[in-house]
Amino acid sequence: MTIYEDEWAFWGDIVGRYILKHAAIDNNVDKVVDAAGVHADLMVLERRKRKRVRLPAQDSAVAPQATTASSI
C-alpha cells in the first residue's frame, strides 16, 4: 500500500499505539507488528473515504450576537 507524505504521521501513530497496547514479552512479536501494519493500513483507507468539510470563516470585525431567552 502506498502511504502519502501527509498520511505518514497518522499511520505511524496508529502503529505505535497498536504495538504499545498489544505488545508483550513472548514469541508473537512478529504477529503483533504485522497486525499493527494491517490495522494502520485499514485505518488510512477508511480515512481516505471520509470527506473533509471546512466551516465558513467568521468575520473577525463583527462579533457574533448571542441569543438569550429574554431577547426572544
Residue numbers of the domain that contains 30 = 5-49
pTM across the whole model: 0.64
In a domain, 45, yes or no: yes
In a domain, 61, yes or no: no
Domain-located, residue 13: yes
Which pLDDT does position 22 carry in this prediction? Answer: 85
Q: What rounded mean pLDDT belongs to the chain?
A: 81
Look at residue 42 and tell me if it is in a domain. yes
Picking from 40, 57, 36, 47, the residue whose alpha carbon sits closest to that of residue 1 is 40
Q: Domain for residue 39, yes or no? A: yes
Domain count, the chain: 1
Residue 70 falls inside a structural domain: no
Q: What is the pLDDT of residues 20-42, one digit of tens each?
A: 888 877 778 888 899 999 999 99
Q: Is residue 16 part of a domain?
A: yes
Q: What are phi and psi of 65, to 5 degrees?
A: -90, 135
Whether residue 65 has pLDDT greater than 70? no
